[in-house]
Amino acid sequence: MSDMNQYMEAAEKALLHAYNRFPVVFDYGKGVYLYDTNGKEYLDFAAGIAVNALGYGDEAYTQALKEQVDKLLHTSNLFYTIPTIEAAEKLLAVSRMDRVFFTNSGTEAIEGALKAARKYSYTRYGSGRYEIIAMNHSFHGRSMGAVSVTGNTHYREPFEPLIGGVRFADFNDLESVKAAVTDKTCAILMETIQGEGGIYPAAPEFLQGVKALCEEKDILLILDEIQCGMGRTGDMFAWQGYGIKPDILTSAKALGCGVPVGAFLMTEKVAESSLAPGDHGTTYGGNPFIGAAVSAVLDIYEDRKILAHVKEVGAYLEARLDELVEKQDCLTARRGVGLMQGLVTTIKPGQVCSKALENGLVIISAGSDVLRIVPPLVIEEKHVDEMIDKLEHTFSAIIL
């Protein structure tokens, strides 16, 4: 094959049409830039949907993967391996949780969290206490369990009936959560910052109020930090800036910076009364290759002071985006924290993303009216300036 059109035509014939892909074939990446098969350069402010926190071609990260490939890829969870043990210890240290189960994806992390919550309640209270309260406009994944707790009818209706025992409340509305609680409630699930729903951070008083409610009634608080965690807000996990702690935490995306890995973590209290041998499992989850990747990511975060960098460059990004909102009539608001930002636009986000791609900028959408900006965490101020310039040219081209 010699050009991108041929590659795309081959893909459309071979792959299930489950995605509306952008018309580009990426060939390689370097730093915070992607390059297509024609050699065109793109500034990446999407990071593979908040995955590639270290950008592309990071030497320490890739070297760790290469070394592990030469040693051992997989053994199953019937045996111990050093990379997985080291990854678990490091992840627990930065998350302040007590136990971790590695999965293959964020969706599987949600599935495990739901099972752990229901098993905890079953162990302590017997059958009948199984309901999950989730949030409207949330997104937790594509499997049947994850879709069941996703508060968007667009994702739910084609696959009904879904798993039962799920109630929905309004994000940032404590009274609606209280109204949804019954004597059957075992857990409350939410994203600390709603991502797909439009980049909505939890209000401090809301999250703190939900945590107090959970403690009062021995309901488990499950925080989904698959997208907003792993340093994106300037804290390793977004909840760490709220003065509370979840009972169960889910992580994925930047946890592996490109390799397929997720995790659900819990406190010792939950672990003692939830999943036991035979209750849950995974063939690939947490194998030595994945363990090496997670371990390397966490080492790099610490060595390069990634969290401090995110706070610094995130403040600069927020300031430049606020200026852009003031300047552009088609933008009405900015929402977000650190390097997880959303711009509310009166132009269809898909149109903006497509035109931006033509201008050498990769951004994505969230919800029906939001441009999602989730770049690699290693961007610098000069990359923010370049992004703003490309976005301004994009708006000018659309409006004209």
Residues 310 and 325 in one domain: yes
Contact 366, 342 (CB under 8 A): yes
Q: Is residue 67 part of a domain?
A: no
Residues 149 and 287 in one domain: yes
Residues 290 and 319 in one domain: no
Q: What is the pLDDT of residues 343-389, one digit of tens each?
A: 999 999 999 999 999 999 999 999 899 999 999 999 999 999 999 99
Q: What is the pLDDT of residues 43-77, one digit of tens each?
A: 999 999 999 999 999 999 999 999 999 999 999 99
For residue 112, which of 102, 127, 126 has the smallest C-alpha distance?
102
Residue 376 belongs to a domain with what CATH number? 3.90.1150.10
- Tens of pLDDT, residue by residue, the chain (400 residues): 558 999 999 999 999 999 999 999 999 999 999 999 999 999 999 999 999 999 999 999 999 999 999 999 999 999 999 999 999 999 999 999 999 999 999 999 999 999 999 999 999 999 999 999 999 999 999 999 999 999 999 999 999 999 999 999 999 999 999 999 999 999 999 999 999 999 999 999 999 999 999 999 999 999 999 999 999 999 999 999 999 999 999 999 999 999 999 999 999 999 999 999 999 999 999 999 999 999 999 999 999 999 999 999 999 999 999 999 999 999 999 999 999 999 999 999 999 999 999 999 999 999 899 999 999 999 999 999 999 999 999 999 998 6
Query: Where does 159-281 show beta strands of DSSP type E?
Result: 166-169, 185-191, 193-194, 200-201, 220-224, 248-251, 262-266
Structural domain containing residue 48: 4-58+305-399
Residues 22 and 82 in one domain: no
Residues 229 and 268 in one domain: yes
Residue 156 CB neighbour total at 10 angstroms: 15
Q: Is residue 77 part of a domain?
A: yes
Contact 51, 258 (CB under 8 A): yes
Token output for 369: 């009216």
Of 284, 303, 322, the residue that ends a domain is 303
Distance CA(370)–CA(157), nearest Å, equals 23
- β partners of residue 331: 345
Q: Identify the DSSP state of 202.
A: P
Distance CA(226)–CA(228), nearest Å, equals 6
Residues 343 and 294 in one domain: no
Of 276, 303, 330, the residue that ends a domain is 303
Of 303, 330, 364, the residue that ends a domain is 303
Report the domain count for the chain. Answer: 2
pTM greater than the 0.85 cutoff:
yes
Question: Kindly report the CA angle at 312 between 246 and 138, in degrees rounded to 5?
Answer: 35
Residues 281 and 373 in one domain: no
Residues 256 and 393 in one domain: no
Residues 269 and 188 in one domain: yes
Residues 53 and 104 in one domain: no
Token output for 158: 């084609």
User: In what order do the strands lie in the sheet containing 262-266?
Assistant: 99-103, 262-266, 248-251, 220-224, 185-191, 131-135, 166-169
